[in-house]
Amino acid sequence: MGLYTSNQILVPLDTKEVVLPALCFLIIFRDGEGSFSASVELAAPSGKKIGGGILPAKVVVGEAGYNMILNFIPFRTDEFGDFHISINLNGHQYRRSLSISKSDRISV
């Protein structure tokens, strides 16, 4: 579909439901060393959990970093607004958002 570096997906004004073949998040932790436990949650603007779970433990050595590719296949919603992805990494919470909005200027 596309790469949305603005964290915003625009759909036509008459859209009732957004259906994407996939919605993928690439999350990069540049440093850290040791064993990491992680969980992730994707929440709709209403707060309803629409995806996520516990991820396999990851061992990071040296400056390798920790890269996550989170893929929601398919992605389907009838909600519009800010979707929040929360990552819990060894008890530390990281949160990012993605906006899906109606517009007369759609994302291409």
pLDDT at 1 over 50: no
Look up tokens 């979707």; give the residue: 83
Q: Write down the pLDDT at residue 45.
A: 97
CA distance 43 to 31: 27
* 86-96: pLDDT as tens digits: 999 888 899 99
pLDDT at 5 over 60: yes
* Neighbouring C-alpha atoms within 13 Å toward the C-beta of 47: 0
CA distance 93 to 108: 32
Architecture of domain 8-68+81-102: Sandwich (2.60)
Q: Write down the pLDDT at residue 59.
A: 66
pLDDT at 71 over 60: yes
| Domain coordinates in residue numbering, the chain | 8-68+81-102
